[in-house]
């Protein structure tokens, strides 16, 4: 009797998803996994990317995916014209203005992608007055523990040139201004020690026991002579 009761409970649980009736499930769609289309995805560039006239851009379709198989074919379009079937083609833009780069893919079941992925690239003309500025990024090692006498390293390595899709586009100079501050006997903030020379020489800085704040200013220059500045404040563990 117990076994019969247990099996009845199991059957009740199985059908409970349909509210105790099979009629509500009869119209549920049946998914044929073989027919699932792939999804096209472009990497290598961001949407609204800005480049210079004559600059080359390499795009990548490797992030495209297929839930029930593999992506086997790629079709790249630039301004509505098919230009490549490579997985990672390189395009050179010799006309100023906005250009649309699109990708469709096909899977091993010969299903075309459910979407067309597109990115817009803006090509600046030879006489454009619009500069492409770099981005200055300040990093400080172990910045969560600025205790007295602790050693830390400032870095500009994550700064980047925003037209760096072409060869040679890079940050060529980092200039630092590192100033620590203390509180005097009247409770006023006063300059304490300047660490600029240490950082520019590639040395670590140590947190002086009287310092309560360190202000870092970074100016970066790219190979086109464009500059950008960032400033960060760090408070010591006093």
Q: What's the whole-number average pLDDT of the chain?
A: 81
Residue with tokens 């760096």: 164
Residue 34 has pLDDT above 90, yes or no: no
Query: pLDDT band at residue 152, thresholds of 50, 70 and 90?
Result: very high
* Stronger pLDDT, 208 or 110, i.e. the higher one: 110
Residue 88 has pLDDT above 60, yes or no: yes
Q: Render pLDDT for 40-63 as a digit per residue (tens, 0 to 9).
A: 999 988 877 888 888 899 999 999
Q: Where are the domains of the chain?
A: 36-124, 139-235
Identify the pLDDT of residue 126. 62
Asked: is 36-124 a CATH 3.40.1120.10 domain? The reply is no
Which of the given ranges, 38-52, 72-86, 117-131, 137-151, has the highest pLDDT on average? 72-86
Residue 24 has pLDDT above 70, yes or no: no
Q: Render pLDDT for 90-124 as a digit per residue (tens, 0 to 9).
A: 999 888 888 999 999 999 999 999 899 999 998 88
Classify the C-alpha dihedral 79-81-85-89 as positive or negative.
negative
Instruction: Read off the pTM.
Output: 0.47
Residue 9 has pLDDT above 70, yes or no: no
Lowest mean pLDDT: which of 21-25, 106-110, 229-233? 21-25
Identify the pLDDT of residue 26. 42
Please give the Cα distance from 121 to 90 (Å, whole number): 13
Give 212-215's long-range contacts (Cβ < 8 A, gap of 24+): 212/181, 212/182, 212/183, 212/236, 212/238, 213/180, 213/181, 213/189, 214/146, 214/178, 214/179, 214/180, 214/181, 215/178, 215/179, 215/180, 215/181
Classify the C-alpha dihedral 103-108-112-114 as positive or negative.
negative
Residue 232 has pLDDT above 50, yes or no: yes
Please give the Cα distance from 71 to 68 (Å, whole number): 10
Residue 8 has pLDDT above 70, yes or no: no
Identify the pLDDT of residue 198. 84
């Amino acid at each position: 009797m117990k076994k019969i009761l247990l099996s009845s409970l199991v059957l009740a649980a199985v059908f409970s998803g349909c509210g105790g009736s099979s009629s509500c499930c009869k119209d549920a769609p049946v998914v044929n996994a073989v027919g699932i289309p792939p999804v096209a995805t472009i990497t290598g560039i961001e949407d609204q990317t800005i480049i210079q006239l004559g600059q080359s851009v390499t795009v990548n379709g490797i992030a495209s995916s297929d839930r029930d198989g593999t992506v086997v074919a790629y079709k790249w379009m630039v301004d509505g014209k098919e230009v490549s079937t490579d997985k990672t083609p390189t395009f050179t833009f010799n006309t100023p203005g906005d250009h649309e780069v699109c990708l469709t893919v096909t899977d091993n079941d010969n299903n075309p992608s459910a979407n067309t992925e597109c990115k817009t690239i803006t090509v600046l003309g030879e006489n454009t007055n619009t500069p492409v500025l770099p981005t200055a990024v300040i990093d400080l090692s172990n910045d969560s523990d600025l205790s007295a006498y602790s050693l830390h390293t400032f870095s500009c390595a994550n700064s980047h040139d925003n037209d760096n899709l072409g060869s040679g586009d890079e940050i060529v100079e980092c200039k630092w201004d590192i100033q620590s501050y203390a509180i005097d006997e009247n409770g006023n903030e006063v300059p304490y020690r300047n660490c600029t020379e240490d950082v520019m020489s590639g040395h670590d800085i140590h947190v002086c026991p009287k310092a309560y704040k360190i202000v870092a200013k970074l100016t970066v220059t790219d190979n086109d002579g464009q500059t950008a500045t960032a400033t960060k404040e760090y408070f010591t563990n006093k």
